[in-house]
C-alpha cells in the first residue's frame, strides 16, 4: 500500500462521523426479548435488560424444554433468537438449526455443511465454534474450514459463501463473526501451526472481500499508518512489527484472531485481540514479536488501526490476547470516559481509554499470578505499559530451554475464551476464571506448512496453597482494579457469564452446572446439573411475555479436550489432559440445549 494512501486512510479515521452500525442489529439490541449477536450487544457487555427472573425468584427456575444437537464434543457460544425463531449451532460439522418457538420448537430448517474431516486434527483445542450472528435477514456462520456462509434466516438457503483461509496451512476457525454496517468482520485460528494471523471484512450483501489486516507483518499488511497509529499515545513508527522479529520469522509468526469482537458506533472503531506468537519456544523468536498479544482498535470501513497496545511482549507462556473487549462509559477521577476492559490470559485485568488507547488500569485478577510482579504504569519509564517479568518463571533461562516450574497462570490463562459480563446497575464485571498453574518446557521445532508448530511440553495443575480447586467466579471493579467478591470452583468456570437487570448473574461450570448468583454479593441462588459439562455461554430471551434462560452443554474445549477427544496422555492437549483428568468422574460427552423458565402461576 502506498504511503500516500495510508495517510489518506489515517486522516479518514480522524474525521470519521458517527456510524450507523447496522440497523437490523441495532433494532434487535434495543429489544431485550431477542439476541442477534453472541456478545448480546456491540459493547460485549453480555447484559440483558430482562428482569422477570430476579434475585428473589430465580430459585424457582424449572426446565422448560430441551433440544439435542446430535453432535458430541465441545459446545461453545449460545443460540440466537429473532422474533419467534431460535437459531442454534453445533461444533464440527457446524450444523445450524432454525427452531420455531411458536410451534413447540419445531425444526423449520437445518443447514449441514459438507466439510472435509481432515480439518479436525488441524484444530488446536477441540472442534468448537463460538456461534452465529444475525444481520439483514441473514444468519452468518464461519465454519471450521474457514468458509464464511450467509444463510437466509427464513429458509436456510445459502445466499453466498466465501473461503477465508487454507486448512492445509493450518488455518481454521472457531470464532463467531462481527457484522458492522454493510460488512462482516471475521478472524482466523491457527497460531499453533505458524499462520500469519489476520482479520478480514467481507460485504454483507455479496461476500466480496473489502479488506484484510494482518496482526504481524509489513505496514501495508498491518493496515497501519506509522505516523498516526499509536501505541500508548506515541506513533508506532515505520516497520513496527517486522523490526521485532528475526529475519522472516514474522511470516509464520502467529497472532491469530480467534476471539471476540466489539464495536463502538460513536467512535466508529471495532476492538479485538491477537494471539500468541509462533512458535511456543521463545528462544527461537527473539524480540517483542509485535503485534502478537495485542489489542487493536480499527476502523471497520477501511481496516486501518487507530491504536494498538501489546500486553505480553515476547510471550513465553502462550498467553493469547484474544479475550473479549468490554466497552463501558464510567467515571475515572471524576471524569466520564469511554473505557475498554479486557481480562487477559496473562492474569491482568486491563482498563484503557478506548478512544485513545491510554492505559489506565492493569491489575492481577487472580492473586496467584506470579510470572510478572506488575505492569509498569510509570509513563516516564522505559518499560511503561510492560509487564515486569519474574526471571524465575521465564521459560528461557540464560539462552537455554529449561523446564520452568510453578508458573501461574497456566497457558490457558487466568481466563480463556469464556466471556465475562458487565452490569451497569452494579458497575461490576463478572468473570469466569481459571485457577491453574503449569510447568513449561520448550524444545526446538521446525516449521512445516500444515503441521503443528508448537515447540513446548506442558503440565497443568490447580494453583497450590489455595482452595484446591481450578477456578473462581469473581466480581471485578474495572476502575479500581480490584476483586469485589470471589466464589471458588472445583474446576475452571469455562462457561460464559450473563448479567441481567434482575440482579442475577448466570454462568456454567465444567461439571455441567448452570449457576445463578446475586449480582451484588455473589451468593449462590440456584444451580442445576445439565447432562454434560458447560463451556457454552448463558443467554436469555422473552417469548409471549415470558423470560427464558438458555444454555448449551457439551463438555470439551481446551480444558475438556481429554474427554472430547478421548485422550489419556497427561501431556496431551497441550497439558490440559492431565490437569483436568478428574473431570471424567463428574461428566461425560453431550450436546444439548437446556432452556429454563419460572413455573406458570
Strand blocks (E) in 408-481: 421-423, 428-434, 436-442, 456-462, 471-477
Are 238 and 219 contacting, i.e. CB atoms less than 8 angstroms apart? yes
Q: Match 512458535 to its residue by C-alpha cell.
A: 279
List the catalytic residue out of 318, 344, 401, 503.
318
Say how far apart CA 66 and CA 165 lie, in whole Å. 35
- Grid coordinates representing 223? 493496515
Q: Has 318 been annotated as catalytic?
A: yes
221: DSSP letter: H
Report d(CA 306, CA 287) in Å as an integer: 23
Give me the sign of the Cα torsion angle 313, 319, 323, 326: negative
Cβ contacts of 372 within 8 Å, gap of 6 or more: 346, 348, 387, 388, 389, 390
Handedness of CA 389, 395, 396, 398 (dihedral sign): positive
Question: What is d(CA 311, CA 325) in angstroms, rounded to the nearest whole number?
Answer: 13
Burial of 426 (0-12, 13-18, 19+ CB in 10 A): middle
460 Cβ neighbours under 8 A, 6+ residues apart: 410, 411, 412, 436, 437, 438, 575, 576, 578, 579, 580
Show the cell assigned to 14.
480522524
Active site residues: 318
Amino acid at each position: 500500500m502506498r504511503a500516500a494512501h495510508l495517510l489518506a486512510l489515517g486522516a479518514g479515521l480522524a474525521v470519521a462521523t458517527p456510524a450507523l452500525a447496522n440497523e437490523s442489529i441495532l433494532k434487535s439490541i434495543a429489544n431485550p426479548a431477542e439476541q442477534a449477536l453472541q456478545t448480546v450487544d456491540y459493547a460485549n457487555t453480555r447484559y440483558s435488560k430482562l428482569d422477570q427472573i430476579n434475585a428473589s425468584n430465580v430459585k424457582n427456575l424449572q426446565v422448560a424444554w430441551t433440544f439435542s444437537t446430535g453432535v458430541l464434543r465441545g459446545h461453545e457460544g449460545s443460540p440466537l433468537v429473532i422474533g419467534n425463531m431460535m437459531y442454534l449451532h453445533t461444533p464440527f460439522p457446524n450444523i445450524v438449526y432454525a427452531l420455531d418457538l411458536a410451534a413447540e420448537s419445531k425444526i423449520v430448517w437445518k443447514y449441514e455443511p459438507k466439510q472435509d474431516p481432515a480439518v479436525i486434527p488441524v484444530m488446536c483445542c477441540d472442534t468448537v465454534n463460538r456461534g452465529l450472528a444475525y444481520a439483514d435477514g441473514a444468519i452468518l456462520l464461519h465454519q471450521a474450514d474457514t468458509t464464511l456462509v450467509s444463510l437466509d434466516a427464513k429458509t436456510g438457503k445459502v445466499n453466498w459463501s466465501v473461503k477465508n483461509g487454507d486448512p492445509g496451512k493450518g488455518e481454521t476457525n472457531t470464532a463467531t463473526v462481527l457484522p458492522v454496517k454493510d460488512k462482516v468482520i471475521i478472524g482466523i485460528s491457527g497460531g499453533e501451526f505458524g499462520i500469519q494471523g489476520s482479520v478480514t471484512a467481507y460485504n454483507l450483501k455479496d461476500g466480496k472481500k473489502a479488506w484484510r489486516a494482518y496482526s504481524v507483518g509489513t505496514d501495508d499488511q498491518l493496515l497501519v499508518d506509522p505516523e498516526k497509529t499509536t501505541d500508548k499515545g506515541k506513533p508506532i513508527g515505520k516497520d513496527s512489527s517486522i523490526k521485532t522479529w528475526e529475519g522472516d520469522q514474522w511470516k509464520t509468526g502467529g497472532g491469530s484472531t480467534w476471539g471476540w469482537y466489539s464495536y463502538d458506533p460513536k467512535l466508529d472503531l471495532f476492538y479485538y485481540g491477537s494471539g500468541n506468537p509462533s512458535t511456543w519456544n521463545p528462544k527461537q523468536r527473539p524480540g517483542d514479536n509485535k503485534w502478537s498479544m495485542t489489542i487493536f482498535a480499527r476502523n471497520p470501513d477501511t481496516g486501518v488501526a487507530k491504536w494498538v497496545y501489546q500486553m505480553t511482549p515476547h510471550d513465553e507462556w502462550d498467553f493469547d490476547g484474544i479475550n473479549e473487549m468490554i466497552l463501558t462509559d464510567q467515571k475515572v477521577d471524576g471524569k466520564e470516559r469511554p473505557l475498554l476492559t479486557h481480562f487477559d490470559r496473562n492474569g491482568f485485568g486491563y482498563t484503557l481509554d478506548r478512544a485513545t488507547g491510554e492505559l489506565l488500569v492493569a491489575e492481577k485478577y487472580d492473586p496467584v499470578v506470579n510470572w510478572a510482579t506488575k505492569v509498569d504504569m510509570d509513563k516516564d519509564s522505559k518499560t511503561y505499559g510492560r509487564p515486569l517479568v519474574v526471571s524465575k518463571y521465564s521459560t528461557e533461562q540464560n539462552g537455554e530451554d529449561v523446564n520452568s516450574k510453578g508458573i501461574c497462570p497456566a497457558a490457558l490463562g487466568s481466563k480463556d475464551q469464556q466471556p465475562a459480563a458487565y452490569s451497569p446497575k452494579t458497575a461490576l464485571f463478572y468473570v469466569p476464571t481459571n485457577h491453574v498453574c503449569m510447568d513449561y518446557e520448550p524444545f526446538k521445532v521446525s516449521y512445516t506448512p500444515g503441521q503443528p508448530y508448537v515447540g513446548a511440553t506442558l503440565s497443568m495443575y490447580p494453583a497450590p496453597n489455595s482452595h484446591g480447586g481450578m477456578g473462581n467466579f469473581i466480581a471485578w471493579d474495572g476502575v479500581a482494579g480490584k476483586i469485589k467478591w470471589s466464589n471458588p470452583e472445583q474446576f475452571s468456570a469455562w462457561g460464559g457469564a450473563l448479567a441481567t437487570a434482575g440482579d442475577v448473574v448466570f454462568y456454567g461450570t465444567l461439571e455441567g452446572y448452570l449457576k445463578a448468583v446475586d449480582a451484588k454479593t455473589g451468593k449462590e441462588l440456584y444451580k442445576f446439573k445439565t447432562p454434560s459439562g458447560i463451556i457454552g455461554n448463558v443467554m436469555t430471551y422473552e417469548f409471549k411475555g415470558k423470560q427464558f434462560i438458555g444454555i448449551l452443554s457439551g463438555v470439551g474445549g481446551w480444558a475438556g479436550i481429554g474427554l472430547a477427544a478421548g485422550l489419556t496422555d497427561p501431556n496431551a492437549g497441550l497439558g490440559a489432559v492431565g490437569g483436568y483428568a478428574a473431570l471424567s468422574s463428574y461428566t461425560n460427552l453431550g450436546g444439548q440445549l437446556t432452556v429454563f423458565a419460572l413455573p406458570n402461576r
